Amino acid sequence: MSIVQRTVEAFPRGRTTEELVVLLGAAFDEGKRRAIVAELQVLSQSGVIRLERNGRWKPVAVPVPRGAQQVGPPAPAATPREENVLLAVPGSIASEPAPAIGDNGEDESAAAVDPHALLRYWRSALRSDPRGAITQMPDRHGAQWVLATGTGPLTPGDDSRRTLSFQLDSLPAEFRQALLRREANEMTLAVGWPIMVGRKSGVPVIWPVGLLAAEWSRTGGTLRVAIEADDVLVNPDWLEGAARTAGWRRSELSEVFDATDGVGLRAEDFLNRLREAAAGHLRGRVNGLQMAAQIDLSAGGIYDIAALFLPTESTFTAGAVRDLDAIGSWPLDRLGRTALAPVLGLPPAFAGVAPHDVNVGSLNAEQIEAVRHACNAPLTVVTGPPGTGKSQAIVSMAASVLLHGGTVLVASKNHQALDAVEERLGGLAPDLPFLVRTLDPIRGVDKSAEQVLDDLLNETSPRARPLDPELVGQAASLSLARRRSMETIRRRADLECEIAALVERIAARERFAAGDDRPAEAVDATPGFVVRLYRAILALFWGLKTTPAKDQRGALTEGAPLSALRARLDALRLERDALPADGDPVRLTAEIMELVTAILPSALSGRVALREDERQKLDAARADHQFHGERAFPSDLARAVLQHRPLWLASVLGTPKRLPLGDALFDLVIFDEASQCDIASALPLFARAKRAVVVGDDRQLSFIPQLGQAQDRNLMKAQGLPTAGMGRFAQSRQSLFDFAKRVPGVPRVLLRHQYRSAGPIVDYISETFYGGQLTTSYDPTTIRSPRDQKPGIAWTHVPGPSFAQQGNVNPAEAEAIAAHVRLLLVEQGYAGSVGVISPFRPQVQAIEAAVRRVVPVQKLEGAELRVATVDGFQGHERDVILFSPCLSANSALSAVTFVQKDLRRLNVAISRARAVAHVFGDLDYARSAKVRALARLAAVATEPRRTVGEGVFDSEWERRVFHALTDRGLDPKPQHEIAGRRLDFALFGKSGVMLDLEVDGRHWHQDADGRRKMSDHWRDHQLQSLGWRVRRFWVDELSKDMEACLDLVERDLS
């Protein structure tokens, strides 16, 4: 029975020809339409259907003669009719090691690469992921798709891949021919599993629930299908269909899976969520181990069976692939006018005045630096560890461009990241429609540029508010003043540090020369034997050049004569004394924030307002576009729309579908959570902008590459690219963030100040994941700790189960956490917010059930309780985080491996806490160090916190100052801790004065990268807000007149 006949029979009351054409998906395909009409005529002539006078096609009932006998025994009721059964092709499923690939190299100095060849390579890499929104019809089985079965699992483990092998003779002939036609292109397909039989408009349809990317090859008479990654993408068409079938709203179902628009799940997590969402629709056990051999079209539900789906134009990457096709034909000068220029190694060619860097919130020095680069550099990379204010920096980047009259696109693969910045960006002018969110599955938002144009023409335009140009000019002047102030501070710090080094060298030389008969001029002209031996060893084994060299300003080598050192010191002092006053960048930042916050809404009101002549011009352009029936929305018309809607938030893969391709449509594109995005998907957005900012953190959750390294190398070779020195371009190895930070000459900014969490939490994540580069900068007044619990990290020992548990569930940890939540919210009346995190979704469900049994709902709502996996909690934070590691000596190896494989999940989990991160787990197992990051976490939580440096001096000058202060009868407290920071000296006056005394010099006035600290100015302001006075002395001041410095200290204390 054909699909046309079945469709007619599915509607006893009949359907018109037009309705049938739409139902069969042929509304826009004239060839298919004619075929359907022809088949209707054939079916009518054969008496199977008839055309009624009302224009509806109806099935013709075939009467059964009275008294007719059925031939043969009756079929059992449970046996499906043969025409309703689809059989699977049997295959063997095996695991094999992933191909060993040599290092492609990441040498930034590699020879220039052909930009067009690179673009073609990335296009091919993107086509290698054939997954997308898939709905298939049963009658296309064996042509566009085919069922497959075998003994699983389907997904690979660590350092391996799964290979499905099928005899070619067992595959339908039409499917084999379809494979042959695709051999000249990327040999990829999507493996769907499990498979759901449903109905759409009364017609049976097939939905793969999950999708895996695979590469296929033919070897002799065998079809081999290789799955490289354990990354199951949820089919959005199934989300739509299952929502109707299971009684869910699509937004609720999407939230369960947290996986829309190209972000996948690991198989175990995928199955747990599937059982939660669609337990009543599973036909038997679904685990991919012993898959079914057939499906019954008359019995809907989810079958544990796989299917191979050939690529179609519905793949998620189809839009980006089309864009890369077009971009690959652009000449070099056109590419150079876009943000692709630095990516492709081209000189930037766009013109125009860069906007002034302004801010609409409080920013520190590093955030200001990031905003300044965003306004000036073709490409900027910002590393934003948790709680360091990356969203605030992004908002100020956007505000700077918008105030200048520009347009901004903020993009991410993570909808939660867009949610976080949307609220802040919308707050720039909450009553104006200047912001467009193109896609939000939770709220059902899906807008294209064409739809935004319709809204713009149909809505009442707000009136423009008056904007004083002098105020805009004042904001620009303040921005320039702040930049000059920061440059002066940096230069002064450089000079003071070099002066301090010279003061120490001269003093040491003078002391040494005083007891030596040799002339002071020649004391260190020739290094000793030990020094020369040490240098030789370093040069031999590490290639380090240890011979002191002059810098650009002519700094002296260690063999310079004493007179030269003194002359250099005098010259540096003269240069320092000639510098202008530092200014106060913190005060200037506050003034800019106040001014820009006041004038930006007026500036935006003039942008969104639509004059009548502009309305008529846009309406005429829209009518012309619609008259010509062009499918692609013109980029020129899009530019006109952007002038009135200048800020867009979009998903990376969804942008090509909703925004037309045009070079430099936007002045700035900002990629958030770029560590979770691949390279190739982002390139069409680079092409749509003049400048780009890539924001990410490679110490948090990262993307899962879908492309095997062997296939990646082959794709490079196919485009004539070398493979040596190409590692930084590789789609299979680098996230967008990894790639961008390796672009030669790109400005890189690390946001170091962590404002969210209490000191011990910051110390843990800084030392464990960031090499000690983060600085505690929290406000103690915002930390809300539970009663009788200090801010920081705590651990409650919950012994592991005596035998292995199924499904990564630890009931003891769940009950312990539930009891603690009750203690906090019911017994203690804790007023802060609470979150619970576990790596495993079954444990999350067990904890949530346990908590809801013992804590009233209103208490949970008041505490904003959220229980989620690590992935589900990213982008959120709470005062108290309760963490269930769910690991013990009897845990499944797969569970331990899951945590070990990506220890960054611990970073995400612990850094969600503002006041307390409290772990409930097996302490003995943690201390066994099978998971090293967990062992360190246990040590930090349970061992007495060392008062690092307290009472100890960082330098000889601090020691001198200490003794000078005590000689005057003062009581300095070295390395005193306040709000997670350590002061060089804390002094307390009799009238309650608190003084922070800082000794600024060479080694102790540098950060982890050896650069001078600008952050001291912001640190001082924060201490002053806590009631402290701050006094700083450079080493040169102390060396010249220690007593005068101490007089100032006494005056500060009086």
3-state secondary structure 122-166: HHHHHHCCCCECCCECHHHECCCEEEEECECCCCCCCCEEEEEEE
- H-assigned helices in 609-679: 612-628, 635-644, 655-658
Q: Residue 203 falls within a domain, yes or no?
A: yes
Strand 306-309 relative to strand 188-192, pairing:
antiparallel
User: Tell me, what's the pLDDT at 744?
Assistant: 92
Inter-residue contact 750 to 371 (CB < 8 Å): no
Distance set, CA 302 to CA 250, 272, 297, 713, 759 (Å): 18, 14, 11, 38, 50
| Residue 274 or 261, more confident | 274
CATH code of the domain containing 663 = 3.40.50.300
Total number of domains constituting the chain: 6
- Shared domain check, 762 and 859: yes
Burial of 65 (0-12, 13-18, 19+ CB in 10 A): exposed
What length is written for the chain? 1054
pTM of the predicted model over 0.85:
no
What are 275-319's pLDDT values in tens digits?
878 877 888 889 999 999 999 988 889 999 999 998 876 677 888
Q: Residue 711 falls within a domain, yes or no?
A: no
Mean pLDDT of 929-946: 86
Q: Is the pLDDT of residue 807 over 80?
A: no
- Shared domain check, 667 and 649: yes
Last residue of a domain, one of 748, 763, 790: 748
Q: In angstroms, rounded to a whole number, what is the distance separating the alpha carbons of residues 532 and 682?
A: 51
User: Tell me, what's the pLDDT at 65?
Assistant: 39
Q: Which helix (H) or strand (E) holds 303?
A: strand 301-303
- Shared domain check, 760 and 740: no
Asked if residue 194 has a cis previous peptide bond (ω within 30° of 0), the answer is: yes
- Shared domain check, 743 and 759: no
User: Tell me, what's the pLDDT at 714?
Assistant: 81
Q: In angstroms, rounded to a whole number, what is the distance separating the alpha carbons of residues 599 and 474?
A: 11
Percentage of the residues of the chain whose pLDDT score is greater than 70: 87
pLDDT-derived band of residue 249, with 50, 70 and 90 as boundaries? low
User: Tell me, what's the pLDDT at 379?
Assistant: 97
- Shared domain check, 295 and 181: yes
Last residue of a domain, one of 536, 552, 577: 577
CATH code of the domain containing 1032 = 3.40.960.10
How far from chain centre, in Å, is Cα 909? Answer: 15
Residues ≥6 apart with Cβ < 8 Å to 529: none
What are 109-118's pLDDT values in tens digits?
445 789 999 9
Token digits for 464?
């423009």
Q: Residue 612 falls within a domain, yes or no?
A: no
Among 64-78, 276-290, 650-664, 978-992, which range has the highest average pLDDT?
A: 650-664
What are 505-552's pLDDT values in tens digits?
888 888 776 554 444 444 344 444 544 554 555 454 444 444 443 444
Q: Residue 879 falls within a domain, yes or no?
A: yes
- Shared domain check, 965 and 870: no
Strand 689-696 relative to strand 666-671, pairing:
parallel
Mean pLDDT of 657-666: 94
| Residue 744 or 875, more confident | 744
pLDDT-derived band of residue 1048, with 50, 70 and 90 as boundaries? very high
Q: Is the pLDDT of residue 977 over 90?
A: no
Mean pLDDT of 311-339: 88
Q: In angstroms, rounded to a whole number, what is the distance separating the alpha carbons of residues 340 and 342?
A: 6
What are 954-965's pLDDT values in tens digits?
778 888 999 999
Q: Which domain holds residue 432?
A: 332-348+376-459+630-698+717-748
Q: Residue 271 falls within a domain, yes or no?
A: yes
| Residue 21 or 362, more confident | 362
- Shared domain check, 533 and 391: no
How far from chain centre, in Å, is Cα 555? Answer: 43
- Shared domain check, 392 and 307: no
Lowest mean pLDDT among 172-186, 424-438, 899-913, 982-996: 172-186
Ramachandran class of 367: left when φ > 0, alpha when ψ lies in -120 to 50, beta otherwise: alpha
Query: What's the chain's average pLDDT?
Result: 84
Inter-residue contact 770 to 700 (CB < 8 Å): no
What are 54-80's pLDDT values in tens digits?
778 888 764 443 443 433 334 444 445
User: Tell me, what's the pLDDT at 99?
Assistant: 67
| Residue 176 or 103, more confident | 176
- Shared domain check, 923 and 900: yes
Mean pLDDT of 163-183: 88
Q: Is the pLDDT of residue 401 over 80?
A: yes
The one-letter amino acid code at 1031 reads: R
Mean pLDDT of 769-786: 90
- Shared domain check, 894 and 783: yes
User: Tell me, what's the pLDDT at 514?
Assistant: 57
Q: Under DSSP, is residue 176 helix (H, G, I), strand (E, B) or coil?
A: helix
Q: Residue 850 falls within a domain, yes or no?
A: yes
User: Tell me, what's the pLDDT at 91?
Assistant: 92
Q: In angstroms, rounded to a whole number, what is the distance separating the alpha carbons of residues 24 and 4?
A: 8
Q: Is the pLDDT of residue 804 over 90?
A: no
Lowest mean pLDDT among 249-253, 357-361, 442-446: 249-253
Q: In angstroms, rounded to a whole number, what is the distance separating the alpha carbons of residues 23 and 21?
A: 6
Token digits for 65?
């003669």
User: Tell me, what's the pLDDT at 541?
Assistant: 44
- Shared domain check, 178 and 45: no
User: Tell me, what's the pLDDT at 599?
Assistant: 95
Q: Residue 613 falls within a domain, yes or no?
A: no
User: Tell me, what's the pLDDT at 550?
Assistant: 44
Q: Is the pLDDT of residue 41 over 90?
A: no
- Shared domain check, 923 and 775: yes
User: Tell me, what's the pLDDT at 546?
Assistant: 41
What are 730-775's pLDDT values in tens digits?
898 899 999 999 999 999 999 999 999 999 999 999 999 998 899 8
User: Tell me, what's the pLDDT at 543?
Assistant: 44
Q: Residue 609 falls within a domain, yes or no?
A: no
Q: In angstroms, rounded to a whole number, what is the distance separating the alpha carbons of residues 834 and 369?
A: 34
Mean pLDDT of 407-431: 90
What are 816-845's pLDDT values in tens digits?
999 999 999 999 999 999 999 999 888 999
